[in-house]
Amino acid sequence: MPGKQPEPSFEFVQLLTSHQSRLYAYVLSLLGDRTQAEDVLQETNAVLWRKSQDFKLGTNFGAWMLKVAYFQVMAHRRRLTRDRLVFDDDFLRDIAEDAEQQCQWQREKQRRMGDCIEKLTQRYQELTRRRYTEGATLKSIAAQSGQTENSIKQALFRARAALIECVKGQRPEKAV
């Protein structure tokens, strides 16, 4: 079929899939209505899919995705202008900027936490992973390691305390 657009790359599909919750949160923060946000999310995903060949791997997918979503929100809002309660474009732009800053701050917090987890001892890393990533219970961790639940609880307490201190130590001067 002439003019048929090539399918998006596997890497693009992975990026799009891994950013869905962030994309939905962004659109929801701009619209404030779950039903509208879900509709705009679908429209945004369709546009991203169609424009997948425009995206250059290695560049900032999140920023590109949020910009496309912003334009989709604006198009959606233009369709709703006949409704009585519609915020003006400047107000929405301010909200969009705030939401983008929140997304960046969240990514920074996740990066810091990852850095701090890597600084934990191997034992604390393993306990933290099993408890919080895999969702294992204290009882199951204790049974598998041959330790008491109390010793696992204490080790996790120490791991959390170390993470808190590490994250606090990485905080920029102006952050609260």
DSSP 2-40: TTPPPPPPHHHHHHHHHTHHHHHHHHHHHH--HHHHHHH
| CATH numbers and ranges of domains, the chain | 1-107 (1.10.1740.10), 120-176 (1.10.10)
pLDDT in tens, 43-84: 999 999 998 888 888 888 888 999 999 999 999 988 877 655
Q: What is the pTM of this model?
A: 0.50
Neighbours of 86 (CB within 10 A): 13
Backbone angles phi, psi at 113, to 5 degrees: -60, -40
- Taking 50 as the pLDDT cut, the residues of the chain under it are 1, 172-176
Burial class (CB in 10 A: 0-12, 13-18, 19+), 46: exposed
CA pair distance 165, 169, nearest whole angstrom: 6
